[in-house]
Amino acid sequence: MRDALRSLHTWLGHQLESSDGPLREKVVHTADGRRVSTLEYTMPSEPVADLELIRRRSQWKGDALRFALDRRTAGETSPELSAREEELRQILPTLPECYPWMLDGPMLLPADDAVGIAADAFDALARVAQVAHEIEIQAGGLAPVSDLLYMMAEAQSGVLVAVRNLGLRGDSDQRDLFAWLKDQTTRHRVYVDRHMRLDNPADPTKAQELLKRINDGREEFSKQINARKERGGLLDKLRYHAARAKSGELLEADRGSIATALDQWSTFGLSQRDRSLVEIAQELSRDHALDEKLAIVLKPFLEGKTPVATKAPNPAPGAAPPAEPARDQLAEARELLGNVSLVGMHQAADGVDFSELQKVFGPKSLKPIVVEDLDDVDAVRTLVEGVEADLILLRVRLGVESYAALKEACAKKQLLFVRLPDGYDPEQVAKQVLRQVGWRLRRDPVKS
């Protein structure tokens, strides 16, 4: 109810500011009562949460729970406990919609273990909200880092489980962070397959471990955002040269700039299989097929090869043991998809060859489906309704309304789908299958 009223308040505010005159004349048609608006504005489906406020409130709740636990353990008031309580109560007026139920509520706190686990869960929620806020500022509108979104989902789910173990129905900061996640994943079309549903709860007893992962990952999240920014700049530079290449011969300066951009691409650790990069490389190669210097520079990116890692030397005596070997994602995905019927959704111009996927994963069946118009909602819905399979591999980037129609149609048919932002390369398919629907396929394996 609070979220709905907040959305209504925002929308009414825009209506009042749009022009002079009574509100009724702006939003109600006097003839038939239909709402009409003189201002193009879409009501938000979810309010955008204040991550900094979530951090402050969650940290306060964690500290207050530990204080309540210490006060009960001590059995009597001490100067130290009194000072801690006074500090907590002084901060409380600066935290809107934060209720001190653990200090003043009529409900008795349960066993010590449950209270301590809840405090740890709020610590993790506070820290992940803080990191998300910092990354959001740094990103400047770019999509959030996927690994961070997964940690946020785990943190909010852990708090929900923890407070329910205390006898509460829920928590405002858990709900606000969930709303933020839902808004971001919908806006940027990022699918988070874990801990976003009530039937897939996180384990709050692992909150301290989650907190460590958040802290350890903070620098990596920042690096990924910086790499995305560099990616955008390098693609713009390469597109500029590709446009120049269409009009005539490339100058030596153009070749040098292209070579520098591609070298920087590798330096930043960006994927050589990046779809946008490969398309530009193909365009440059096609327009100047006889340019030997350009061909040498473009060759690794046209082939989509990645550098082969050298074998690590044997560790010296007394050194730390080597890290665990990397997951064999292809083998894991092959095991999950071996009895699954697949549909590959793509555009005709993509020229996709599904024989490699069939060979690598050995699914029960693999059928291609061509989408003609990415913004045709009815066509997309009809395609999905006609699918006779267990899982859709979604290669295309649908329009917002078409994507919503696909999700709705898949939900009605209990049909899974996997978005493939980096195309049908088997390694990318394996990665996205494991990340997006891996837990569903393990929990509910497809029967023959």
- What would you report as the CA-atom Rg of the chain, rounded to the nearest whole angstrom? 27
Whether 40 and 57 share a structural domain: no
The one-letter amino acid code at 57 reads R
Q: What does the pLDDT average to over 351-372?
A: 85
Residue 233, pLDDT above cutoff 90: no
Q: Does residue 121 have a pLDDT over 90?
A: yes
Same-domain check for residues 284 and 233 = yes
pLDDT for the residue numbered 21: 58
Examine residue 309 and state whether it is found in any structural domain, yes or no: no
83 touches 199 (CB < 8 A): no
C-alpha closest to that of 343 among 290, 408, 311, 391: 391
pTM, entire model: 0.59
Q: Does residue 325 surpass a pLDDT of 70?
A: no
Whether residue 149 sits in one domain with residue 118: yes
Is 218 inside a domain boundary?
no
Cα separation, 132 vs 126, in Å, equals: 10
Q: Could you tell me which residue, 17 or 200, shows the higher pLDDT?
A: 200
Q: Report the number of distinct structural domains present in the chain.
A: 4
pLDDT number for residue 328:
78
Q: What's the CATH code of the domain at 404?
A: 3.40.50.2300
37 lies in a domain? yes
Under a CB-based contact definition with an 8 Å cutoff, are residues 393 and 344 in contact?
A: yes
Tokens linked to 374: 């990415």
Lowest mean pLDDT among 51-55, 132-136, 406-410: 406-410
- The verdict on 60 and 3 lying in the same domain is no
Co-location of 369 and 409 in the same domain: yes
Domain membership of residue 310 (yes or no) is no
Better pLDDT: 416 or 33: 416
The chain-wide mean pLDDT, for the chain, equals: 80
Is pLDDT larger for residue 100 or for residue 42?
100
According to DSSP, residue 35 is labeled B
Average confidence (pLDDT) over 310-314 = 42
Query: For the sheet containing 341-346, what is the strand order?
Result: 365-370, 341-346, 391-394, 416-419
Q: Per the domain annotation, does 99 fall within a domain? A: yes
Whether 275 and 356 map to the same domain: the answer is no
62 and 39 housed in the same domain? no
Residue 269 in any domain: the answer is yes
The pLDDT-based confidence of 41 (bands split at 50, 70, 90) is very low
Token digits for 1?
């109810």
**126 has a pLDDT exceeding 80:** yes
Q: Out of 31-35, 44-48, 79-83, 252-256, give the one with best mean pLDDT.
A: 79-83
Q: Are residues 238 and 191 in the same domain?
A: no
- Enumerate the β-bridge partners of residue 418: 393
Residue 391 buriedness (CB in 10 A; 0-12 / 13-18 / 19+): buried
Confidence of residue 151 (pLDDT cuts 50, 70, 90): very high
Q: Range of 367's domain?
A: 329-443
Asked whether the predicted pLDDT for residue 353 surpasses 80, the reply is: no
Question: What pLDDT does 374 receive?
Answer: 81
Domain boundary among 202, 218, 247: 202
In a domain, 319, yes or no: no
In a domain, 59, yes or no: yes
Same domain, 76 and 25: no
366 beta partners = 342
pLDDT at position 104 over 70: yes
Please, which pLDDT band fits residue 305 given cuts at 50, 70 and 90?
Answer: very low
Best-predicted range by mean pLDDT (130-134, 328-332, 415-419): 130-134
Residues 334 and 406 in one domain: yes
What's the confidence (pLDDT) of residue 321?
45
* 57 in the same domain as 188: yes
Q: Which of 129-138, 275-284, 416-425 has the highest mean pLDDT?
A: 129-138
Cα dihedral 25, 28, 29, 31 sign: negative
pLDDT of residue 163: 93
C-alpha to C-alpha distance for 335 and 349, rounded to whole angstroms: 31
In this predicted structure, what is the pLDDT of residue 125? 97
Decide which of 355 and 62 is more confident.
62
Shared-domain flag, residues 369 and 251: no
The reported pLDDT for the residue numbered 375 is: 83
Model pLDDT, residue 303: 63
Taking the C-alpha atoms of residue 214 and residue 155, their distance in angstroms, rounded to an integer, is 10
